[in-house]
Amino acid sequence: MTESTILPGAPKAAGPAPLPGTGSRLSSDAGDAFWTVSNEEALRATSSRPSGLTAAESAERLARYGPNLAVVKNRRGLLAKLGKRLAEPLIAILLIAAVLSGATGDWQSFILIVVIVLFSILLDIVQEQKAESAVDALRHSVAVTASVRRDGKAVELPVRDIVPGDVVELRSGNLVPADGVLLSGRGALVNEAMLTGEPYSVEKRTGPAAGLAPNDAFNALFSGTSIVGGEAVMLVIATGGKTRFGAIAASLQARQPPTALERGVHGLGMLILRLTGFLVLFVLLTQVVHHGLSLESFMFAVALAVGLTPELLPMVMTVTLARGAVRMAERKVVVKRLSAIHDLGAMDVLCTDKTGTLTEARITHVGSVGPDGLENTRVAELVRLNSHFVSGMQSNLDDAINAGPMPAGDWRCLDDLPFDFERRRCSVLVSSGSAPELITKGAPEAILAICSDVEAPDGTPIPLDEAMRAKLVALFEEKGRQGLRLLAVARRAMPPDCSKVEVDAEAGLVFVGCAIFVDPPKASATEAVARLMEAGVAVKIISGDAAAVVLHLVETLHLPAQGILSGDEIASLSEAALIDRVGRTNLFVRISPDQKSRIVRALRRAGHTVGFIGDGINDAPAIHAADVGLSVEGGTDVAREAADIILLAPDLGVLGDGIVEGRRTYANIMKYIRMGTSSNFGNMLSMALASLILPFLPLAPLQILLNNLIYDVSEIGIPFDVTDREMLAAPQAWDMKAVLRFTLIMGPLSSLFDIATFILLHWGFASDVAVFRTAWFVESISTQILVIFVIRTARPLWASRPHPVLVATSLGALAAALFLALSPLGAFVGFVPLPAPTLLAVIGISAAYLASAAILKRIAMPSLAGK
Ligand SMILES: Nc1ncnc2c1ncn2[C@@H]1O[C@H](COP(=O)(O)OP(=O)(O)OP(=O)(O)O)[C@@H](O)[C@H]1O
Ligand SMILES: [Mg+2]
């Protein structure tokens, strides 16, 4: 019997057994229901066993099925990239034109154009390739791993290496790495909201789940969902694009919205492109009308278009960002989504959870008190029974409790109700020979709300009256004000035959007391928060804990407190009211996970760029909802997967460095943009206009290409440049108005000097064609390159020192350009020696342009000046 024929409804296949994902019944692809077969059958069909695959088997399968990635990004090889660039319309036209010149005997032009085009494309590709590799390496360093059984041992492997047939061990907080069935488990609670939209977790048990729809398949685990409690061992059936998640991931990926900066730069690029198209057509048309169509005027138009297109901008963005990412990694901040760097630089509100970022997260169980506030050993016993037996999510409070000894006696657990963030409590049904008892622990108010009695010191329940309730609330408050975290515990005697409980059993309980915990504040948090605020980032604390505890922490750390909102209050606020309140509040307490993301969304709607940092399962939705999702290296997989940025050290201090880096990156990208809009664009524009008036072309096509290439090379140093302190002091966001203002002031200035050059050369010196072009080239390239030193800073020139690399690339490129134009070598591209007066005049005009630019930038870059 072939392996597939054991599966219900599978076609009787002859030959080798079809493996999952290849069309067999055991694929979640195309609605195939792998959860309907028994585990034995599933193991057989995947040729696997509970101890997992061998290394050899997995290697073979990895080669056959490919990596376990929902979306396989096909990164193009160097050659493919080259091919793509060569096929771009402008470049293709240029190359065809070159071939035509070659055919008409102009070999010089042919060779030079090909060399120039290839060189500038290579420059682009190599830079981008280097940047991408660096970023990929960083991303891999924080990739989520899974515990996979290989050769009989559990090893941590990158999720991408998982293959069908693998046996994976999962714990609370892990992401399910692929589609498969539960082989064994203990209270495995899974959040499937990613697939079903259902916020409540579902419990998984072993199958088969014959005849059920995927959403009801209680033994199926799906890629992209997460384990929120318990443990599970799964057999992987389908990986990568064959998973249910894979089917929707591609569309999710595509929908990732661009950042404000990306949108802005793209918009600007399109504007320039449209203008270019219009201009070039116009130039071409007038040339044809005046002189008839010649190869030269055609090539002039094409070269002009090449000179005008901001073709380097995408590369510049990638390279600048990648450089930022590498520098951030040196400061222990790893970027998963490159464009998150912009958002980090633009972020003006940071929401943080409490445990771990503001506290040490070294939680210890330091005492247990009864309702009278006195030490009480019964409380400690009950709390330990609860923590020991409860399944589902174990929090660090449970860990602290379990560090102590188990109470004496032969205790058995009959059933339990795991913790969730809505109830804020959990229960166990236990017995030690006598009638079973329900023991519930949780947030003090959540426990008090379901108690009808309170235990007297001798163990008898007495009814809980209003006075007693008030006394207990006062006790909670008092402990909270001392910075102590509390979990209350209550019990209820159950009927002797009771062996199962539902959530409605959590009622009419007897209040027994509170377990007390300390979580020391993190001393470094004070300085870190102060630094963030100085950098213009408002810090807001969003905690699941009680108001008193949070207030005490804030006081101890001397953090600013202005306005406090509780989860209950938020629940009763309308969307509009919340948007109004969030800005004025910086302490949020007793907040449930979905309220965390509600707060983040409200802040965004109020116009803020919001960061959220957290490490827990309950933080993941808010991390996802934020502009910049942040998590820490030791956080749960779910939180780390949702995050854009991972802090290798759980410290807000390193974040300050990351923010500075984000702003530096932004500032350097703006330098490119300003450079392009102020001089390069202006020069090309003037040239197009000049070509309409002059009886000859102001520059030969070849000379324009050369100009463009040298200009590109000169810009290589910008990502390295230093940024003035005042540029880093406040959030930096894309501001189209500022860009337009700059362009409208600096663009015409550049044109003014071009016209002056033009008049001087043509009428003043009555230069011939060759001299005119040489002089124009010198003026054009010097102003284009040198203007970077003017517009890189809002300060006076001498008050801001550029980075040596930028100085080297700029001056190096300029020297090369001048050498080419003024030495005998220039004859190759049609340059001639300039008469001394012409050269002096050109130098004078360039200097005058730069000086005026230095003065006018005070108006053109007002928001930055004068700080
Ligand atoms: N294992 C548990 N058993 C019972 N109750 C719990 C457990 N874990 C947490 N709680 C209660 O639920 C509340 C909310 O959970 P939690 O403190 O983890 O939220 P949070 O937002 O992560 O808080 P923080 O801001 O401290 O990180 C806790 O304050 C506590 O009262
Ligand atoms: Mg937490």
Q: What is the pLDDT averaged over residues 326-355?
A: 90
Of the pLDDT bands very low, low, confident and very high (cuts 50, 70, 90), residue 2 is very low
pLDDT at 199 over 80: no
Residue 274: band (very low, low, confident or very high) from pLDDT cuts 50, 70, 90 = confident
What is the mean pLDDT of the segment spanning 515-522? 93
Q: Using the mean position of ligand 1's atoms as its centre, give its distance from the Cα of residue 618 in Å.
A: 10
Give CA–CA dist 360/366, Å, rounded.
Answer: 16
- Identify the pLDDT of residue 28: 41
Q: What share of the chain has pLDDT > 90, as a percent?
A: 43
Nearest ligand, measured from the Cα of 401:
1
Kindly state the average pLDDT of the residues 373-401.
90
Query: Is the preceding peptide bond at 208 cis, omega within 30 degrees of 0?
Result: yes
Q: Which residue of 358, 393, 422, 543 sits with most ligand 1 atoms within 8 Å of its CB, as the best mutation to test the pocket?
A: 543
Q: Give the three-state DSSP class for 19.
A: coil
Residue 78 has pLDDT above 80, yes or no: no
Lowest-pLDDT range of 313-322, 434-443, 593-602: 313-322
State the average pLDDT over residues 248-254.
57
Best of 545, 587, 599, 652 to mutate for ligand 1, by most ligand atoms within 8 A of CB?
Answer: 545
**Does an H or E element contain 406, and which?**
none
> What residue ranges line ligand 1, CB within 6 angstroms?
353-355, 395, 397-398, 419, 424-426, 441-443, 487, 543-545, 616, 618
With cut-offs at 50, 70 and 90, classify the pLDDT of residue 292.
Answer: confident
Residue 24 has pLDDT above 60, yes or no: no
**Mean of the pLDDT values across residues 170-193?**
88
Prediction ipTM score = 0.95
The span from the CA of 211 to the CA of 641, in Å, is: 33
Mutate to test the pocket of ligand 1, among 395, 543, 553, 598 (most ligand atoms within 8 A of CB): 395
**pLDDT for the residue numbered 861:** 84
Q: What does the pLDDT read at residue 450?
A: 96
**Six-digit token pair at 112?**
């030079």
- Mean pLDDT score across all residues of the chain: 86
As separate numbers, helices (DSSP H) first and strands (DSSP E) second, the chain gives 30, 23
Which pLDDT belongs to residue 20? 42
Pairing of strands 538-542, 349-352: parallel
Nearest C-alpha to atom 29 of ligand 1 is from which residue? 545
Supply the residue whose CA is at minimum distance from atom 25 of ligand 1: 543
52 Cα: distance to centroid of ligand 1 (angstroms):
36
Residue nearest to atom 19 of ligand 1 (CA): 544
Report which of 480, 479, 452 is spatially closest to residue 468, judged by C-alpha positions. 452
Q: Whose CA is nearest to atom 30 of ligand 1?
A: 443
pLDDT in tens, 679-705: 777 877 788 888 888 888 888 888 988
Predicted local confidence at residue 29, as pLDDT: 43
Name the token pair of 832: 């001639």
Which atom of ligand 1 lies at the shortest distance from residue 596's CA? 21
Residue nearest to atom 20 of ligand 1 (CA): 544
Q: Express each pLDDT in 767-810 by its tens digit.
A: 899 999 999 999 999 999 999 999 999 888 888 999 999 999 99
pLDDT value, residue 26 = 46
The CA-CA-CA angle for residues 66, 340, 611, to 5°, reads 120
Q: Which ligand does the CA of 593 lie closest to?
A: 1
Asked if 460 contacts 445 with a C-beta cutoff of 8 angstroms, the reply is no
Site to substitute for ligand 1 among 394, 422, 487, 590, most atoms within 8 A of C-beta = 487
Nearest-angstrom CA–CA distance, 444 and 397: 14
Q: Looking at the predicted structure, is the pLDDT value of residue 25 above 60?
A: no
394 CA closest ligand 1 atom index: 1
Distance 233 CA to ligand 1 centre (A): 27
Locate the ligand 1 atom nearest the alpha carbon of residue 446 and give its number. 31
Give the list of residues 6+ apart from residue 414 with CB closer than 8 angstroms, or none. 429, 430, 431, 436, 498, 499, 500
354 exposed, middle or buried (CB, 10 Å; 0-12, 13-18, 19+)? buried
Rg, C-alpha atoms of the chain: 34
For residue range 550-561, list pLDDT tens digits in order.
Answer: 999 999 988 888
Provide the annotated active-site residues: 353
Calculate mean pLDDT across residues 592-602.
92
Among 22-31, 235-244, 852-861, name the one with the lowest average pLDDT.
Answer: 22-31
pLDDT above 60 (res 863): no
Report the alpha-carbon distance of residue 386 to residue 53 in Å, rounded: 37
Contact present, 45 and 92 (Cβ < 8 Å): no
Distance of CA 419 from the midpoint of ligand 1 (Å): 9
- What the chain holds in terms of domains, given with CATH numbers, is 3-70+143-246 (2.70.150.10), 262-325+661-860 (1.20.1110.10), 333-360+522-648 (3.40.50.1000), 364-518 (3.40.1110.10)
Interaxial angle between packed helices 652-675 and 524-534, expressed in degrees from 0 to 180 and rounded to the nearest 10: 20
Q: Which protein residue's CA is at the shortest distance from atom 6 of ligand 1?
A: 442
How far apart, in Å, are the Cα atoms of 838 and each of 475, 558, 761, 852?
90, 68, 8, 21
Nearest to 831 by CA among 288, 283, 292, 112: 112
- Least confident residue range of 104-118, 452-466, 703-717: 104-118
Highest-scoring range by mean pLDDT, 101-110, 126-135, 795-804 = 795-804
H or E stretch covering 169: strand 167-171
Average pLDDT over residues 17-39: 57
Q: φ, ψ for residue 535 (rounded to 5)? A: -85, 10
Confidence at residue 254, expressed as pLDDT on a 0 to 100 scale: 46
In angstroms, the Cα distances linking 548 to 105, 481, 623, 639 are 87, 5, 25, 27
Q: Which ligand is nearest to the CA of 550?
A: 1
Ligand whose nearest atom lies closest to the CA of 544? 1
- pLDDT beyond 80 at 438: yes
Judge whether 347 and 628 are in contact, CB under 8 Å: yes
334 CA to middle of ligand 2, Å?
A: 21
Average pLDDT over residues 517-538: 91
Kindly report the pTM of this predicted structure: 0.82
Q: Which atom of ligand 1 is nearest to the CA of 618?
A: 22
Q: Rounded to the nearest 10 degrees, what angle do helices 260-291 and 295-308 cross at?
A: 160
Ligand 2 center to 691 CA (angstroms): 67
Residue 487 has pLDDT above 50, yes or no: yes
What tokens were used for 701?
């096509």
End-to-end CA distance of the chain: 81
* Ligand approaching nearest to the C-alpha of 549: 1
752-764 pLDDT per residue, tens: 898 889 889 988 8
- Determine the Cα–Cα distance for residues 295 and 551; give it in Å rounded to an integer: 77
Number of neighbours of residue 43 by Cβ within 10 angstroms: 18
Averaged pLDDT for residues 205-227: 88
Q: 383 CA to middle of ligand 1, Å?
A: 15
Lowest model confidence (mean pLDDT) among 343-347, 404-408, 581-585, 609-613: 404-408
**Nearest residue to 176 (alpha-carbon basis) of 136, 128, 144:** 144
Point out the ligand 1 atom lying closest to the alpha carbon of residue 359. 26
The better pLDDT of the pair 144, 449 is held by 449
- Determine the distance separating the centroid of ligand 2 and the alpha carbon of 731, expressed in angstroms: 27
Give the tens place of pLDDT for each residue, 59-77.
Answer: 999 999 988 886 655 556 7
Which residue has better confidence, 326 or 132?
326
Q: How much is the pLDDT for 10?
A: 33
Rounded-to-integer distance, Cα 29 and Cα 33, Å = 9
pLDDT tier, 287 (very low <50, low <70, confident <90, very high otherwise): confident
